[in-house]
Structure 1
C-alpha cells in the first residue's frame, strides 16, 4: 500500500494501520488471487474537489474517490481480470496495481458525527467502500447497492468495526 497523508489534522487512530487492515481484509473476503498494490491518499476538501473536477467533471467535494486499474466482467471476477492484470504489474514489486483511493479527512469527521459513530468506523467504511469499487462493484441500481453494502459490511464486521461506535468530539 502506498500512502500519502496530506492533511494537518490528527485522528485518535492510525490512518495507515486501519487502511492496511481494511484493505487486507477486503482482499481476503473477495478471494483476490493477486498480490496487489493500492495507493491511498488522505486529503481535504479542496484537493478532493480538484480530483473530482478533473477526473469526473463534478465540481464539488466528496467523501471518497476510487480509481480502479482493472476491469471486471462481474464484480470480483478475478478470472476475467487476469489477462488485464498481467498488464498492470508494477515492475518494482511484482504486484498487480488494483487502483487508487482518495479519502476526504474532513468528510470522515463530519460524516462520523452525522451518522453517530466513530471517525475510525467512518474511515474504515470509506476504505472498504472504495475497495469494492476497485473490485468492480457499483451502486447504480438498488440490487447493486445492496450487494455492495453486504460485501463492505462483511469486511468491517470481520474486523470488529461496527456501527454505533461512540463518536469523537467534532472538529475539522
Structure 2
C-alpha cells in the first residue's frame, strides 16, 4: 500500500497524523476486503485552499472538511469486480502495479474546528474524515437516506475497529 501525504497547511496538528491516516486507510481497505495493493493520495490543506477546490469541482465556494476524488466508477459500491470486466490499466500505477483509488483532500482548519465543536479529539476527527473519504473512494455516497445510513454504519464500524471512538 502506498499512501502519499502532502501537508500544505500553516496550522500544525500536534500528533502523528500520518500514522492515523495510514491506519484508517488500511483499516478501510481491510473492512471492504479490497483484493488489490493500493495507492491513495492525501493532501492536508487550509480552508482557503479547499474552498477553491470545492469551487472548481463542485461550484460551491466555501470551505468543507474533506473532498474525495475517486478514480473508479463502481457499478455497486465496494464491488471491485468492475476492475476485472474490461480495460482497467488506467486504474493501476504502471510502475508499482497498485490500484490507484484516488485523492483525499482534508482541511486542517476544519479538523481542528470540528473536533472542538463535537467534543472529541483531533485524532478521532481526522480518522472519521479519512474513513468517510475512503468510503467515497470505494463508490459509496450519502445523497439519499438509505445510502447515508449504509455509509454511516460502515464509518462507525471502521472507526470502532481502530478504536477511534468519540
Q: TM-score range by the shorter chain?
A: over 0.9
- The answer to whether the 8 Å contact 1:67/1:100 transfers is yes
Distance 1:105 1:12 in 2: 11
Distance apart, 1:92 and its partner CA: 2.1
Work out the number of aligned pairs and report it. 163
Mapping of 1:92-171 within 5 angstroms? Answer: 92-163=95-166
Q: What is the aligned partner in structure 1 of residue 19 from structure 2? A: 17
After superposition, where does 1:35-54 map in structure 2 within 5 Å?
Answer: 35-54=37-56
- Partner residue of 1:66? 68
TM superposition outliers: structure 1 runs of 4+ over 3 Å? 81-86
Kept in 1, the 8 Å contact 2:13–2:108? The answer is no
TM-score normalised by length of structure 2: 0.94
Structure 2: gaps spanning 5 or more residues: none
- Tell me, yes or no, if the aligned pair for 2:10 and 2:46 is still in contact at 8 Å: no
Q: Does residue 1:34 correspond to 2:39, yes or no?
A: no
Deviation string for 1:4-27 (max 9, x for gaps)? Answer: 001122223211110000000000
What CA RMSD, in Å, does the superposition of the two structures yield over aligned residues? 1.1
TM-score between the two structures when normalised by the length of structure 1 = 0.91
CA contact (8 A) 1:52 1:61 kept: yes
Aligned equivalents of 2:151 and 2:100: distance in 1? Answer: 21
